[in-house]
Amino acid sequence: MMPFSVREFEALARDRLPRYAYDFIAGGADDEVTVRANEQAFARLRLLPRVLRGQPGRDLGTTLFGAGITMPVLLSPTAFHRLADPAGEQATARAAAKAGTVLIASMASTVPIGDIATAGGADLVLWFQLYIQPDQAVTDALVKRAEDAGCRALVVTVDSPVLGWRQRDHHNEFHDLPAGLYCENMRGLAGDSGVRSIAMVPELSWEHIDRLRQTTELPIVLKGLMHPADAVTAVEHGVSGLLVSNHGGRQLDTAVAAIDAVADVAAAVDIPVLMDGGVRRGTDVVKALALGAHAVGIGRPVLWGLAARGEEGVLDVLELLRGELDRALALTGCASVRQVTSDLVREVRC
Ligand code: FNR
């Protein structure tokens, strides 16, 4: 069966993946209230279209930190792509390059960042997601690896001072990677490059961001920030962008849906605000843009595409979303992503 939506890709992936891998990807923290809320919140937002503003075509392109991308849909960082397909992050990188959008490679990738960059080639806009490590020398070495690979931004995940309680993984006893898979970016830096070689830092603070700011020239994007007061502080600390996110509901359960945090954060700062969590349709992208996001990220949909059909599946997911976004723009009377305004969205009670 040819899938015609992200949801149908998920069904295909579920059939193909071993149970522990499907659960690792689909699951979240505690009761998974926030996993569900991320998607449900988009359903509560409805579009109020404009008519008779016809244009022969739509312009989906935008720019981020000087790089042009063909649509405001990024690949959010997700760990362990080789759980979904043997070619792992290399397949994902090729698909992102073909689609002409940003791949944010996870620090917990199962292919080293340099090989991800090589697979994507010169066309790929590659960013590196970083968990700041307790040992500064390890953090510095990771930043160096990202810089050497040609990454154009660092996405520092700040919503994980400790790991969320992921019950599905406990039930499946999924605590280590299968034989032969490693957190390749940790090679030679910490432990055996297994899952536990990446540490969470409970004392993570703005001082860590200040220090990182002094270590690299790359733009720093904070990922996992939800509160507008933190957004203001981030700007004071020289941060270049924000990715509003609750980690796909995998960290703090009952956190508000990511889309519900976007408008206040976007109103508080002048730097690019991105969001991820629950984006499954082109109409979701329009809603996020209307609420002030510059672009959105997708996490699980990329892995559903990868598990279902490898590189081609990831590209199919991205192209489905591109087609949906294009249609949604046409149907709301927008000729470009810049024309999406806040009056196009209404919140309804469900
Ligand atoms: C993630 N996410 C994540 N975030 C991060 O900063 N570093 C990481 O290594 C990972 N790994 C990861 C693995 C898996 C399997 C998932 C599903 C998610 C979170 C990710 O970047 C993003 O915030 C969410 O996935 C967005 O929500 P959706 O699109 O999955 O609903």
Which atom of ligand 1 is least distant from the CA of 24?
Answer: 15
Run means of pLDDT, 10 residues per run, the chain, 350 residues: 94 98 98 98 98 93 97 98 98 98 98 98 97 97 98 98 96 95 95 90 98 97 98 98 98 98 98 98 98 98 98 98 98 97 93
* Tokens 């992050």, residue located: 89
Whether residue 199 lies inside any domain: the answer is yes
Whether residue 249 has its Cβ less than 6 Å from ligand 1: no
Is the CB of residue 244 below 6 angstroms from any atom belonging to ligand 1? no
Q: Which residue has the tokens 């993984």?
A: 169
Q: Respond yes or no on whether ipTM tops 0.95.
A: yes
Q: Is residue 152 part of a domain?
A: yes
Q: Give me the pLDDT at residue 92, please.
A: 98
CATH number at residue 24: 3.20.20.70
- pLDDT computed for residue 190 by the predictor: 86
Which atom number of ligand 1 is nearest to the Cα of residue 108?
9
Looking at residue 269, its pLDDT comes to: 98
Predicted pLDDT at 85: 98
Give pLDDT, residue 291: 98
| Active site annotation includes 247 | yes
User: Which pLDDT score, from 0 to 100, does residue 349 have?
Assistant: 83
Residue 350 resides in a domain: no
Q: What distance in Å separates the CA atoms of residue 186 and residue 108, rounded to the nearest whole number? A: 8
State the angle between helix axes of 206-215 and 136-148 in degrees (0 to 180), rounded to the nearest 10: 50
In a domain, 203, yes or no: yes
**Residue 318 near residue 21 (C-beta atoms within 8 A):** no
- pLDDT the model gives residue 191: 81
Q: What phi and psi, each to the nearest 5 degrees, are found at residue 67?
A: -100, 130
CA of 249 to the centre of ligand 1 (A): 9
Q: Is 78 in the pocket of ligand 1 (CB under 6 A)?
A: yes
Give the bridge partners for 275, in sequence order. 244, 296
Task: Show the domain range for 284.
Answer: 6-344
Q: Which of 81, 208, 227, 247 is catalytic?
A: 247
What are residue 221's phi and psi, to 5 degrees? Answer: -110, 130
Inside any domain, residue 1: no
| SS3 annotation, 275-299 | EECCCCCHHHHHHHHHCCCCEEEEC
Is 74 a domain residue? yes
Out of 33, 38, 78, give the residue to mutate to test ligand 1, the one with the largest number of ligand atoms within 8 Å of its CB: 78
What is the domain count for the chain?
1
Residue 69 in any domain: the answer is yes
Answer whether residue 349 is part of any domain.
no
Whole-number pLDDT of residue 192: 87
